[in-house]
């Protein structure tokens, strides 16, 4: 697959985002069946670069709801080759988004700085929601299986 797509595994794990040569690449959202969620960048099928991680809610007896949205803890982090290598402090997040904090300085593997894009932020690209809405329009049944 090349372009934008959705894949749902048996057991309710889900991915929505960009693909290149059948691999997750670019911005995407991955959902585990226990409620955990990763929204961020992928390279060669692995989480790579800035991302937001949401804790799961499975097994919790009380979940706060604010404006119709579950209140789950969210953290900003940096991933390299599928592994989270650091969390960012709240004051660092705008700096990453503005490009004034070069997150590639924190990569641990020697080729990561040269093989992956720089200047990515924590937010999806501007065409992400448009791509998702096109799929939802073409395949309305997807909403029965999508959060």
Q: pLDDT per residue over 69-100, tens digit each?
A: 556 789 999 999 999 999 999 999 999 999 99
Provide the domain limits for residue 65.
3-144
pLDDT more than 90, % of the chain: 67
Least confident of 29-43, 64-78, 95-109: 64-78
pLDDT more than 70, % of the chain: 87
- Distance from C-alpha of 24 to C-alpha of 3, rounded to nearest angstrom: 10
Burial of residue 105 (number of CB atoms within 10 Å: 0-12, 13-18, 19+) = exposed
Chain-centroid distance, C-alpha 97 = 15
Q: What is the pLDDT of residue 144?
A: 61
- Distance from C-alpha of 8 to C-alpha of 114, rounded to nearest angstrom: 32
Rounded alpha-carbon distances, angstroms, from residue 98 to 23, 58, 95: 28, 34, 5
Domain count, the chain: 1
Q: What is the pLDDT of residue 118?
A: 85
In the numeric block, which tokens belong to residue 2? 């090349």
- Distance from C-alpha of 119 to C-alpha of 99, rounded to nearest angstrom: 5
The 10 Å CB-count burial string (b at 16+, else e) for 14-43 is bbbbbbeeeebbbbbbbbeeebbbbbbbbb
């Amino acid at each position: 697959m090349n372009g934008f797509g959705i894949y749902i595994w048996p057991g309710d794990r889900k991915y929505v985002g960009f693909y290149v040569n059948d691999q997750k690449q670019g911005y995407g959202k991955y959902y585990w069946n226990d409620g955990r969620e990763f929204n961020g960048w992928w390279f060669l099928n692995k989480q790579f670069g800035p991302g937001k991680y949401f804790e799961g809610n499975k097994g919790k007896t009380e979940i706060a709801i604010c404006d119709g949205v579950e209140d789950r803890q969210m953290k900003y982090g940096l991933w390299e080759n599928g592994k989270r290598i650091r969390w960012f402090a709240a004051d660092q997040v705008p700096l990453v988004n503005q490009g004034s904090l070069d997150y590639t300085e924190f990569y641990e593997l020697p080729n990561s700085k040269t093989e992956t894009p720089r200047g990515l932020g924590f937010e999806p690209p501007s065409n992400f929601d448009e791509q998702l809405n096109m799929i939802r329009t073409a395949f309305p049944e997807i909403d029965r299986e999508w959060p």
